[in-house]
Amino acid sequence: MTYGNRNPLDSLDPTAMKEPKMPPTAPPVDQQAAARFAPARLDVVDLTASYRGLPAVADVSLTIEPHRVTALIGPSGCGKSTLLRCLNGMHLMAPHATVTGQVLLGGTDIYDPRVNPIEIRRRVGMVFQRPTPFPTMSIRDNVLAGVHLGRRRGRGTHDDLVEQALMRAGLWKEVRNRLKAPGGGLSGGQQQRLCIARALAVEPEILLMDEPCSALDPISTLVIEDLIKEIRETCTVVIVTHNMQQAARVSDTTVFLNVEYAGVPGRLIEAGPTEQIFNAPQQRATEDYTSGRFG
Amino acid sequence: MTGIPADRAAAPLRRGRGRGDRLFHSGVTAAGTVVVLVLLATVVFIVIKAWPAVSHYGPGSFLSSDRWAPSDAVANQADPNPYGILQFLYGTLVTSAIAMVIAVPVSIAVALTITDVAPQRLRRPLSALVDLLAAIPSVVYGIWGIFALIPALRPFGDWAATAFDGIPVLGTVFSGPFSGVSYFSAGVVLAIMVLPIVTAVCREVFATAPCAEKESAYALGATRTEMLRMAVLPRSRSGIVGASVLGLGRALGETIAVTMLIGDNVLSITRSVLGQGATMPSVIANEFTEANQPFHLSSLFVVAGCLLALALVVNALGRLIVRRTGENIA
Amino acid sequence: MATHFASRPEAEPRPGGPGLRRRMATDMVGTGVLWLATALTVGVLLWVLGYAAVQGFRYLGPEFLTSTPPGDPSRAGGGFLNGIIGSLIVVGLATVVAVPLGVGAAVYVVEYGGRLARAVDFLTDLLIGIPAIVTGAFVYALWVTRFGFSGYAGAISLALVMLPLIVRATAEILCLVPRDLREAGLALGVTPARTIVSVVLPTAMGGITTGIMLAVARAMGETAPLLLTALGNDLFVETHPDHRMSTLSLQIFSNAITGFEAAQARAWAGALTLVILVLLCTAVARFVARRSSVTGAR
């Protein structure tokens, strides 16, 4: 809990917070959806993630509130992507990767050996830097790729599910007439929205986005940023971005990580409401970074 | 393994002007030309040697009979062709088919294990072990097949010989008795010999599946086998086909191990895979140096020519498929 | 937004997702099948090697390595000295022929480029695919019909087997040599030929040696083409390659199919000797590859 005191969101003891409470500033949420679908709170406690024994990010404690967009910012090499990948256990998929500390999803440690990592990855979805539609699948099959897992094929057509997911990803109008076309034929921005639709179709509680716009043109970027604000109504979003304007535009909460020099792990410097991080940061490093003095 | 991709090849060096340069250039050009010449000469010499028999009996007569009886041959007389080669074609195709049916699924599984399932530190040793299978000489597989494999296959062979009795197709394919040396035994040994080749190509193909797609599958909550089915296998389909075709090319031409295990029945097609037969390479190996009947040796060159044509077509096909997938994926 | 959730076809209880337990079980079974296939493959390898070792060591000994087979194959005793010497001579000659040709052709393919080079590249793949027995028949037609069965004929056929393997291996290694090295050489005003000989080839030497050793291992075990070219000679040690010659592989073949127990014992001892020789070549190849400057880092 090295930086726990500096984190205004972490003022409560995480273990005491079994019942996630809606933060007062959270956007209005459809009651029915919320009841059915309430995302759990995510608490990171003393997390250190390493590759081959070398920590990439160390001693991070923070809380990610439901129905909020949390942005992770910081200079390259500060471990923000690694931290993101720790939030759904993807970090451990890499060879020689280890984790210490806890990530509590609704109070349950996702690294507890009794917890099934597959279940966690279904509850916490992820979108990557480069769009990765499965090239041999049609648009429709791409959307259903995660949904079909574990279901016998042909059981229900899932037409409505495809439509919903594509609508939520803002792609429905563009592709409704060519659902059978291969997903690789779309433009970069459309592919990325297809990947978002694919992730949303599984109905995750939390969606992790690892620099989702860095490979896209400015217009596609804007479309996806608007999308993120809508997605928030049904699920929590955590986004890694190297683009500070983007963080300011889309996020409710901003987390700043920094690394002093190459070879030492990145650390959490400051976390708080986006407004505060950009306008009244409490740490010198945060101010230097957000004002563009380095990074 | 799959040819030199254009972007990996070095920039062509300008031809130098010095004498040493010219000498070196013509030297390596000559070496390159030798490769071309060897292939051309192989085709030409085999055709020349096969020509007497082909022109005497007519090309069609070889492929319209399954009886190979050199002792019936009479010189200088227009009698029916005693050198039917259908049974060799059949034997080659059947043994290769048995080999592929066994080797391809196992190879895919082994390649997937090596690229995606085994713990990181086991991957290199495992692929080295599988490669070792390719290093063992054919003649060793042959002697091992006779003394170790056939006794081990006998219980299965005897069971299969009776189990399918009366069932229309299977009954014929597995009609007994199991003769030990047989299409089946030869096919199993071929499978073992082809396995490292198919595995090696599959391994390369699977390794090109992008990490990002694998992670996407995992991020959707896929289990490992679901990830393989989602992100690795679909895009590798044509690579697997190419690998199998290359393996087939190897199986078609394999000689000594098959010769030792197939029983050398040259007189007819044996329908049952449990019976004895002969393949194109095996008849050449068995009779070549003792061919003393009229047109006997020349007819063996006809067999060699057919085998060469088959092998060239299959290999060219396999290389093209593997090469094209390589380009598509990269 | 509410309608989106109400219209889901079936409400699954969270957490877990649909059929998680069944999926985990399927995954276990699938992974098990993959491991089973791998274990089976490694098991067959060990079976072949182990069986050859057990059978071979029964007779492999000083007598086997220093004497020729008895005139009557059913008699016990004797060895494959003539085959071992024959193998070394024939494979040695084949290597001497195939290495310069193969490396030269690979240099041509990679360093000079052009239409013929691309043709050579593709034809190399086709040559690899030619059955060795057909190569044997070719050398018979080319050589044996004029000069008779001989060690030379056997060496030519093995050289033809080795040639495309060496071209392919060398070409792949040459492609891994960084382009900068060549450009650095040329920039210094060194001629292209010198650049290749004194910069590119030495850098690739380890990888080329690996390719050559693997080709030698392959040739050492090759039997089929030798049947039609070197023919074999079970009676005495022949050191002049102008005469018909035995090799280890030929002797294993002829002794294994006799049906006499004594001959089979010799065949097994020969098979073990051959396996050891081939594995030695392979081990040297791997060792060199690991230490090589280009392939080591891979």
The number of C-beta contacts closer than 8 angstroms across A and B is: 66
How does DSSP assign B198-216, residue by residue?
A: HHHHHHHHHHTS-HHHHHH
**In this structure, what token pair is assigned to residue B118?**
């085994």
CB contact under 8 A, A134 and B120: no
Q: Does C17 touch chain A (CB under 8 A)?
A: yes
Q: Supply the pLDDT for residue C126.
A: 93
Chain-centroid distance, C-alpha A208: 2
pLDDT in tens, A93-122: 888 899 999 999 988 899 998 888 888 898
The number of C-beta contacts closer than 8 angstroms across A and C is: 51
Q: Does A123 touch chain C (CB under 8 A)?
A: yes
Chain C residues within an 8 Å CB radius of A30: 1-2
| Angstroms from C35 CA to nearest CA on chain B | 7
Q: Does B24 touch chain C (CB under 8 A)?
A: yes
User: Quick one: CA torsion of B229, B230, B233, B236, rounded to 10 degrees?
Assistant: 180
Q: Is residue B123 included in any domain, yes or no?
A: yes
Mutation pick from C40, C160, C223, C286 vs chain B, by most beta carbons of B within 10 Å, is C223
How does DSSP assign A153-167, residue by residue?
A: TTSS--HHHHHHHHH
Which of A210, A151, B281, B219 minimizes the C-alpha distance to C18? A151
Closest residue to C1, CB basis, from A33, A150, A151: A33
- For chain C, the average pLDDT equals 88
Asked if residue C27 has pLDDT above 60, the reply is yes
Whichever domain contains B283, its CATH number is 1.10.3720.10
For residues C196 and B196, give the distance between their C-alpha atoms in angstroms, rounded to a whole number: 34
Q: Which residues of C224-245 are buried (b: 16+ CB within 10 A; e: fewer)?
A: bbbbbbbbbbbeeebeebeebb
Q: Is residue B314 included in any domain, yes or no?
A: yes
Q: Is residue B57 included in any domain, yes or no?
A: no
Q: Which range has the worst mean pLDDT, A15-24, B236-245, C232-241?
A: A15-24
The predicted model scores a pTM of: 0.87
Give the residues across from A125 on adjacent strands. Answer: A207
Please measure the distance between the N-terminal and C-terminal CA atoms of chain B and give it in whole angstroms: 16
Write phi, then psi, for A71 (nearest 5 degrees). -105, 135
Residue type, A203: E
Q: Does A91 touch chain B (CB under 8 A)?
A: no
Given a contact cutoff of 8 angstroms between Cβ atoms, the answer to whether B84 and B67 are in contact is yes
Helices (H), B65-163: 86-112, 120-135, 138-144, 150-163
pLDDT tens string, chain B, 330 residues long: the values are 445 554 444 444 555 567 888 899 899 999 999 999 999 999 999 999 999 999 999 888 899 888 899 888 887 777 788 999 999 999 999 999 999 999 999 999 999 999 999 998 999 999 999 999 999 999 999 999 999 999 999 999 999 988 888 888 888 888 878 888 999 999 999 999 999 999 999 999 999 889 889 999 999 989 999 999 999 999 898 899 999 999 999 999 999 999 999 988 898 898 889 999 999 999 999 999 888 888 999 999 999 999 999 999 999 999 888 877 765 543
- The percentage of residues in chain A with a pLDDT greater than 70, rounded to a whole number, is 84
Q: Is residue B3 included in any domain, yes or no?
A: no
Chain A residues within an 8 Å CB radius of B219: 88, 90, 121, 125-128, 199
For residues B59 and B305, give the distance between their C-alpha atoms in angstroms, rounded to a whole number: 12
User: Quick one: CA torsion of C253, C257, C258, C262, rounded to 10 degrees?
Assistant: 70
**In this structure, what token pair is assigned to residue B300?**
């063996």
Chain C residues within an 8 Å CB radius of A116: 16, 20, 24
Confidence of residue A15 (pLDDT cuts 50, 70, 90): very low
Q: Does A116 touch chain B (CB under 8 A)?
A: no
Q: Is residue B11 included in any domain, yes or no?
A: no
Q: Which chains touch A (3 or more CB pairs under 8 A)?
A: B, C
pLDDT in tens, C43-54: 999 999 999 999
CB contact under 8 A, A88 and B219: yes
Q: Is residue B276 included in any domain, yes or no?
A: yes
Sign for the CA dihedral angle at A199, A200, A203, A208 comes to positive
Q: Which range has the worst mean pLDDT, A63-77, A156-170, A190-204, A255-269?
A: A156-170
Smallest CA–CA distance from B288 into chain C, residue: C228
Q: Residues 61..120 of B with a Cβ closer than 8 Å to C: which?
A: 105-106, 109-110, 112-114, 117-118
State the residue range of the domain holding B292. Answer: 86-329
Which of A194, A186, A140 minimizes the C-alpha distance to A170? A194
CB contact under 8 A, A160 and C19: no
Mutation pick from B117, B121, B220 vs chain A, by most beta carbons of A within 10 Å, is B220
Q: Does B128 touch chain C (CB under 8 A)?
A: yes
Taken in order of first residue, the domains within chain C and their CATH numbers are: 77-297 (1.10.3720.10)
CB contact under 8 A, B35 and C41: no
Other CB atoms within 10 Å distance of the CB of residue A9: 18
Given a contact cutoff of 8 angstroms between Cβ atoms, the answer to whether A245 and A218 are in contact is no
Asked if residue A3 has pLDDT above 80, the reply is no
Q: Is residue B15 included in any domain, yes or no?
A: no
Q: Does B223 touch chain C (CB under 8 A)?
A: yes
Closest residue to C253, CB basis, from B39, B246, B256: B256
Q: Supply the pLDDT for residue A13.
A: 42
Q: Which range has the worst mean pLDDT, A167-171, C123-127, C269-273?
A: A167-171
Closest residue to A116, CB basis, from C1, C9, C20: C20
Q: Supply the pLDDT for residue A35.
A: 41
Confidence of residue A295 (pLDDT cuts 50, 70, 90): low
Closest residue to A30, CB basis, from C1, C15, C24: C1
* ipTM metric: 0.91
Smallest CA–CA distance from C298 into chain B, residue: B124
Which of A8, A52, A83 minimizes the C-alpha distance to A267? A83
Closest residue to C5, CB basis, from A32, A123, A156: A32
Mutation pick from A121, A143, A195 vs chain B, by most beta carbons of B within 10 Å, is A121
Question: What is the count of structural domains for chain B?
Answer: 1
Q: Which residues of B169-201 are buried (b: 16+ CB within 10 A; e: fewer)?
A: eeeebbbbebbbbbbbbbbbbbbbbbbbbbbbb
Q: Residues 250..269 of A with a Cβ closer than 8 Å to B: which?
A: none
Q: Is residue B291 included in any domain, yes or no?
A: yes
- Report the alpha-carbon angle C163-B256-C36, nearest 5: 95
Cis peptide before B177 (omega within 30 of 0): yes
Given a contact cutoff of 8 angstroms between Cβ atoms, the answer to whether C270 and C258 are in contact is no
Chain A residues within an 8 Å CB radius of C29: none
Q: Does C10 touch chain A (CB under 8 A)?
A: yes
Closest residue to A234, CB basis, from C1, C10, C23: C1
Confidence of residue A184 (pLDDT cuts 50, 70, 90): confident
C236: left (phi over 0), alpha (psi -120 to 50) or beta: beta
CB contact under 8 A, C23 and A118: yes
| Angstroms from C281 CA to nearest CA on chain A | 33
| Angstroms from B202 CA to nearest CA on chain C | 14
Chain B residues within an 8 Å CB radius of A130: 212
CB contact under 8 A, A119 and C4: no
Q: Does B329 touch chain C (CB under 8 A)?
A: no
CB contact under 8 A, C17 and A160: no
C19 three-class SS: coil
Radius of gyration for the alpha carbons in chain A, expressed in angstroms and rounded: 19
| Angstroms from C30 CA to nearest CA on chain A | 14
Write phi, then psi, for A62 (nearest 5 degrees). -160, 165
Q: Does A159 touch chain C (CB under 8 A)?
A: no
| Angstroms from A184 CA to nearest CA on chain B | 12
Chain C residues within an 8 Å CB radius of A122: 15, 17
Closest residue to A149, CB basis, from B210, B212, B220: B220
- Report the alpha-carbon angle A50-A54-A58, nearest 5: 55
How does DSSP classify residue A180? Answer: T
CB contact under 8 A, A134 and B220: no
Residue with the bigger pLDDT between C18 and B31: it is B31
